[in-house]
Amino acid sequence: MQTIEIQISGRVQKVGFRSCIRRIAQKLNIKGEVMNLPDGSVRVVATSEKIILDKFISMIYGCPRAVIRDMKTIDRDLLEFDEFIVKKQNI
């Protein structure tokens, strides 16, 4: 198991992007969270097997209406989640 953090910038807020990411994560049985950040980007923290996380990252590009300009992935210490949730962020 591995946990990664993904920072995604571009036109990624107010286009249903977080819901799309949650659907993909649930389909792949990935646990974690996704949230909007005040700077207009989106942060994802995801835990699963490495090969599943690689597939997850590639599938994110297929979310409709979002325009991804940059995606950075950082390895994190292993975090345990019960499910994959959309966190509400006050921006």
Q: Apex CA 22: angle with CA 14 and CA 74, to 5°?
A: 90
Structure-block tokens of residue 36: 């909007």
Q: Is 36 a catalytic residue?
A: yes
Alpha-carbon distance of 86 to 77, in angstroms, equals 21
Catalytic residue among 11, 23, 36, 69: 36
**What type of residue sits at position 19?**
S
As annotated, the active-site residues are 18, 36
